[in-house]
A and B are shown apart, each in its own frame.
Chain A
Amino acid sequence: MLLKGKVWKYGENINTDVILPGRWCHLYLEEDLAKHCLEDLDPDFVKKASPGDIIVAGKNFGCGSSREIAPLAIKAAKVSCVIAPSFARIFYRNAINLGFPIFESDECYQKAETGDILEVDIATGVIANLTKNQKYSSTPFPEFMRMIIQKGGLKGYVLERMKNKT
């Protein structure tokens, strides 16, 4: 499967408080969360981004709080994936558990710019920059995590486990 969209680029250590501020932490439905995605980082993000767009950011993306509504808000805002050199650990596992694609690529962060069009191959993790005519690689996921992503997140995995139990 290919993900294609326009890049919105941000810096390093983007924390979950700016992705989905504490004042909205009572929300949990996707349609509500989508409206506040990245609100304290880039208040216009929701207005200017189109479905399928891609967030490219610096290292340690998603640091801070464990709030799963942070990746959920990004997913709900119809962003197709996030690419960063590294992710904070709870954000990383939350994204996998939600079946939301993330990719670790330092090269992409170094070279891609806001406005570039990227095409990401989920299976291989290869990122094609159609604007600059470049290709970047990303760190492959361990097999267990790939399996969870393939099942659409933890839900698919849990349902299968429960079925096998009974």
Chain B
Amino acid sequence: MLNYLKSEFYRILRSRATYLFIAVCSVLLLSSNIVLALVKRSDETFTYANTAFSIANVYTSFGFVFILCIMVTGIIFNNENSNHTFKNCVSYGITRGTIYFGKLIIQIMYAIVAFLVIIGVHVASAYLLLDNSGPKELDMLFQVSLAAIPLLLFVIAVANCFYFIMEGTGGAVAATCGVILALPIISGFLGMKFELIRKFADILPWNLLSSINYDLGGHTVKLFWSTNGYQNYWIAGMLQMIVFVVLGYSFFAKKEIK
């Protein structure tokens, strides 16, 4: 496993997409701060050019990070099915478990690094370019991140599962979107009629993320569960993640590699 992880690091460090993804996301967030700073410069009465507004924009838009997680998984998976590169590993006795879990570990590691760099660039540029509203928004960002991380790990596990199952990237992305977006929405609608489905819909990661309420004045975060909220978010995220990890691996273990 260690050798597989090392080889994957060697590869992704030489892939342009690895850097491009982080660079583009960082530049987009940086540019939002630059725009706020420029507007403030031309209009002194503009009240949003501060770190509170800028950072709140990030943690209230974590749904968008779900989509980015699918991209992260794709970058690391790197079209191994269409490149037919798995056969070089399997033919040499690298187990399918090593490949499957190795990819998942690298995807999670890359996602964490990308998250820290992108958020880091955004926060640093906010404090450099905008009015400082104090450290409380950072605390809010930390609280939301703490609840959202297991949900984001779930998205990576789902995307990884479908990248291994499907031959094409398009199919994998569509199936992932179906599970992380369409399923919560559809079961949410059905939940209006059937109580059991509503309970099921409530614990789906997309709905758990949507359930987070932000008390911007009080600088507190309210989760779906009022007691043991963070713990329950982690349990829900991890359990659902395990389901898709097992599903993907079970399929890949039997799949013919071409």
* Chains A and B bind each other: no
